[in-house]
Amino acid sequence: MAQVQDIEIRDSATRAAQVAEELQDVQGEKMVLNMGPSHPATHGVLRIVLELDGELITKADPDVGYLHRGDEKIAENMTYTQFIPYTDRLDYLAPLANNVAYALAVEKLLGIHDKLPPRCQYIRVMCCELARISAHLLGLGAFAMDAGAITVFLLTFTEREKIYNLAEAASGARLTTSYTRIGGLARDIPPTWCAQVRQFLQEFAVTLAETETLLTRNRIWVDRLRDVGVVSKAMAIDYGLSGPNLRGSGVEYDLRKAQPYLCYSDLQFDIPVGSVGDSYDRYLVRMEEMRQSMRILSQCLEKIPGGEVNASKEPVNIPDGKITLPSKLKVLSSMEELIHQFMLVTEGVNCPPGEIYFGHENPKGELGFYINSHGGGTPYRLKIRAPSFVNLSILGELLPGCMISDVPVVLGSFDFVMGESDR
C-alpha cells in the first residue's frame, strides 16, 4: 500500500513539474533590466534591478550606496560645529532645513533647544519653509519632466532661483548655506531680506497657480498618475514612510504639529492628506504643502520679534559664552575673548554625556539625528535617519505589477535624493 502511495506522489510531482514548465513556455522568458545608476529618471545614483515579463514588472530590487561618503563616521572626528557643512550635503535641495535639524539635535543634547531667542526661532522657521518650497519645486519640475511636461520644469526652476537669491542674501552662499549655528544663527538677516521674501511670495503665488492650471486637471498628467504606485495607509505605516509620501496615503502626521519645535505652535497651518495613496495624491499633497508654507512665511513676516529690520536689536544667539562665539570686535580688543574663541573653535562645544534623538519635518520626510555623547566637543556616535533611504525601501513591493513606463512616475512621486539616502 505504501509503495502505491509513493508512486502516486511521484506521478503528481511529475505532473506539477510538467504544468510549471508549460506555464513558463506560455509566459515567455523574463528579462532582467538594470535601470540606473546613471538613468535620468532615477534622480541620482539609484540602481533598480527590474525583472520584466514583457512590459510588466515582476520583481524590483533597489540597489543603493553608490554615493556613500561615510558622513556618520566623519562626524565622530569633528566638533559639533565643524559637522554643520556636512549636513548641507544630505538633502542638498534643502540645506537650510538640514542645518536647522542638526542644530536642534545638538541643542537638545545641551538642553537649550527650548531657550533659543524668539527672533532666532522665527528666522529658522522661515529658512525651513523656504527650503520646503525650494525642494518641492525641484521635485515637481523633475517629476513633470519625467512625464513629458517640460514647461513646468522651466517655471519651477525660475522660482527656485529666487529662493537661492534669498539664501545668498542671508548666508552668503546659494547651495551649501551652513547658516545655522549651535545656539542660534551665523548672523541676523539683512534689513531688506523680509521685504524680498514678501515680494517672492507675491510672485510665487502666481506661478504656483499657473503650474496647477497646467497639471492638476491635465488629462495626460492625471492618466499617468492616477492609480499608479498605490500605497495603502497600512503599508505606508509598516514601511516607516514619512513626509508627503506618508500623508499622501491618508496618514495625518506632521512633526511640526505632533511634536512642535521652534515657534510652530504659534503659527496656523493645515496638514494636507491624500485619500488613495497613489502618485496623483502625492503630487496634490506637495502642491498644497507649498501653499501652507507660503501661509507660514506670511505669518512669520508679521510676527517676527524686532520687526523686519530688528530695530529693537533682538538677539539671534543664546547669551551663553560657552556655546556661542564672542563678537569679532571683542575678539580683536580683549585677550580673554580671543582665548575663549580659540578654545571654542579648536575643542568645540562641551556637550554633556548622554544620548538623544531629534526628528525634524524636512521636505522629504522625517530627518532624524541620534547623538551618543561621552562628553566633550565631539560625538561618540552620530546616526542619521534619512527619509529618502526609508522611503525607497518600499519600491521592492510597490513596483511589481506596474508597467515599465510607470517607473519614472512612481520614482518622481516619491521625490527622493540620493545624497541623504547614501549619506
The CATH number of residue 200's host domain is 1.10.645.10
In a domain, 259, yes or no: yes
- Average pLDDT on 287-313 reads 89
In a domain, 24, yes or no: no
In a domain, 25, yes or no: no
In a domain, 41, yes or no: no
The more confident residue out of 234 and 341 is 234
Band of the pLDDT at 330, cuts 50, 70, 90? confident
Band of the pLDDT at 11, cuts 50, 70, 90? low
Residue 297 has pLDDT above 90, yes or no: yes
Residue 122 has pLDDT above 90, yes or no: yes
Band of the pLDDT at 4, cuts 50, 70, 90? very low
Band of the pLDDT at 16, cuts 50, 70, 90? low
Residue 5 has pLDDT above 60, yes or no: no
Backbone angles phi, psi at 177, to 5 degrees: -80, -45
Residue 21 has pLDDT above 70, yes or no: no
Residue 394 has pLDDT above 80, yes or no: yes
Range of the domain at 267: 71-422
pLDDT of the residue at 338: 84
Residue 23 has pLDDT above 50, yes or no: no
Band of the pLDDT at 203, cuts 50, 70, 90? very high
Residue 221 has pLDDT above 60, yes or no: yes
In a domain, 14, yes or no: no
Residue 1 has pLDDT above 70, yes or no: no
In a domain, 96, yes or no: yes
Hey, what long-range contacts does 64-71 have (CB within 8 A, 24 or more apart)?
64/389, 64/392, 64/418, 64/421, 64/422, 65/422, 66/37, 66/418, 66/422, 67/418, 67/419, 67/421, 67/422, 68/422, 68/423, 69/422, 69/423, 70/423, 71/384, 71/423
pLDDT of the residue at 2: 46
Determine what percent of the chain is predicted with pLDDT higher than 90. 36
> In one letter, which amino acid is 415?
D
Mean pLDDT (the chain) is: 86
Domain count, the chain: 1
In a domain, 44, yes or no: no
In a domain, 35, yes or no: no
pLDDT of the residue at 25: 53
The region of weakest confidence among 13-27, 157-171, 315-329 is 13-27
